[in-house]
Amino acid sequence: MTTSSFHRRRLLAATGSALALGAAGLLRPAFAQTVAATPSMRGGSNNYRPEAPIIERIGGGGFWMTGTVRRAGDGAPLANQRIQIWAHTTEGHERDARSHGATLTDADGIFRLEMPQIVPAFGQAHGHLAYDSGDYETVFLRPLMDSPSQTSLEAHFVLQPV
Amino acid sequence: MWVVVALVSIVPLVAAANSPLLAWRDPIYILAGFAGVAGLVLLLLQPLLAAGLLPGLSRARARRMHRVFGLSLIVAILVHVAGLWITSPPDMIDALLLASPTPFSIWGVLAMWTAFAALALAALRGRLPLRPRHWRYLHMTFAALVVLGTVLHAVLIDGTMETASKSALCTATLVAALAAVWRIRSQYGHAAAKPADKTVR
């Protein structure tokens, strides 16, 4: 499977599921508020650069940033949501534009972006993720790696509708 | 003694100089990191000099070196903070405002301010309404906080320092500080030592 076909299919699926989810939400307006919104983490927005482009991968890849995006309250997966990702990697500092990229969630609210290996910076191996597209409250995350030798990192968003 | 001190000081510097992380850092970030390592090495030497625990050095010579190394430590702290600020301004601003997500930052900031306080005391020695022994207690208290803060700061960091040599240096620094406090207290800490106060340091 090539990366580009994977990407296009994911976009198509995401668009369809966004419509389906919207309808589902309307049918269940009184669903109990059970899933709490994710708060921003301390330092999450450090070295943020607005409007990171949606790209196939950041740099040469080799490391996977993955996660989910759901709606606060009913916990429904949110498709087609833009998640921005940046980190200090083997290819650049956090502040460098080439260390930044964005991707969209698929039909199941899952995102996955390949990027260069994250290396420890400022004392911890960590990544940065942002949701700030405006439909939901802005959230900045700063997940830590258990070990610098990890080749993937997860971060999960539960977004509060504006 | 000298051999142990030399090994514990030099091996961490050499190990850090061979860190794979250096390949992915700008020169200014590397400089800031090494200023931190150098500061830690100076912190090992400072209590040994202050208490006259290094054999073969006269007290006067040791005291002069203590002053020079103390100023060098302040320079190392300033280079460390300035270099990290240039590398990532928001991370350093968070650290200085005690709002950083990293648990080691607060210890580093504590060590920085107590080092400045120890420097201020040293600069104003003889011009403050303090008895020599009270001045000494205050300076030692600040210095002990510098050591404690710096060791916690260093141990919690995943950086260019290699783990074993960092642990050895941190342990040696704590031991040196404790030994110095014990030595100085036993020399001057009781009433009988009052006449000697005038000539100390």
Q: Can you give the three-state secondary structure of B46-79, one letter per residue?
A: HHHHHCCCCCCCCHHHHHHHHHHHHHHHHHHHHH
Min CA distance, A142 vs chain B (Å)?
9
pLDDT of the residue at B187: 85
The number of domains in chain B is 1
3-state secondary structure of B161: coil
Confidence band for A33, pLDDT divided at 50, 70 and 90:
low
Share of chain A above pLDDT 90, in %: 79
Following DSSP, what letter does each residue of A20-50 receive, concatenated?
HHHHHHHH-TT----BPPPPPPTTTTTT--S
Res. A38: pLDDT tops 90: yes
pLDDT at B199 over 70: no
Q: Torsions phi, psi of A156, nearest 5?
A: -125, 135
Cβ contact (<8 Å) for A46 and B94? yes
CA distance A90 to A93: 8
Contact A123 B157 (CB under 8 A): yes
The mean of the pLDDT values for chain A is: 86
Compute the half-sphere exposure of residue B32: CA atoms within 13 Å on the CB side of its CA.
20
Q: Does A62 touch chain B (CB under 8 A)?
A: no
Domain boundaries, chain A: 3-159
Report if residue B197 sits inside a domain. no
Chain A contacts of B97, Cβ < 8 Å?
Answer: none
Confidence of residue B200 (pLDDT cuts 50, 70, 90): very low
Residue B169 belongs to some domain of the structure? yes
Q: What are phi and psi of A113, to 5 degrees?
A: -135, 130
The per-residue DSSP string of B74-137 comes to HHHHHHHHHHHHHH-HHHHHHHHTT--SSHHHHHHHHHHHHHHHHHHHHHTTTTSS--HHHHHH
Q: Would B200 be classed as within a structural domain? A: no
Cβ contact, residue pair B88, A47, below 8 Å:
yes
Cβ of B67: how many Cβ atoms within 10 Å? Answer: 12
CATH number of the domain located at residue range(s) A3-159 in this protein:
2.60.130.10
Q: Is the pLDDT score of B27 beyond 60?
A: yes
Which chain B residue has the Cα nearest residue A143? B101
Could you tell me the CATH number of the domain that includes residue B145? 1.20.120.1770
Give the whole-angstrom CA distance, residue B115 versus residue B122. Answer: 10
pLDDT (0 to 100) of residue B1 = 87
Q: Is A89 on the interface with B (CB under 8 A)?
A: yes
Given this model, what pLDDT does residue A12 score? Answer: 44
Report the residue from A46, A93, A120 with minimal CB separation from B26.
A93
The CA-based diameter of chain B, rounded to the nearest angstrom, is 58
* Domain region containing B82: 2-189
User: Any chain B CB within 8 A of the CB of A43?
Assistant: yes
Q: How confident is the model at residue A1 (pLDDT cuts 50, 70, 90)?
A: very low
pLDDT at A7 over 70: no
Cα B62–chain centre separation: 16
In a domain, residue B35? The reply is: yes
Are B24 and A119 inside 8 Å of each other by CB? yes
The two three-digit tokens of residue A64, written as one number: 């996977």
Please judge whether A93 and B88 are an interchain contact, meaning their C-beta atoms are less than 8 angstroms apart.
yes
A86: nearest Cα among B86, B104, B88: B88
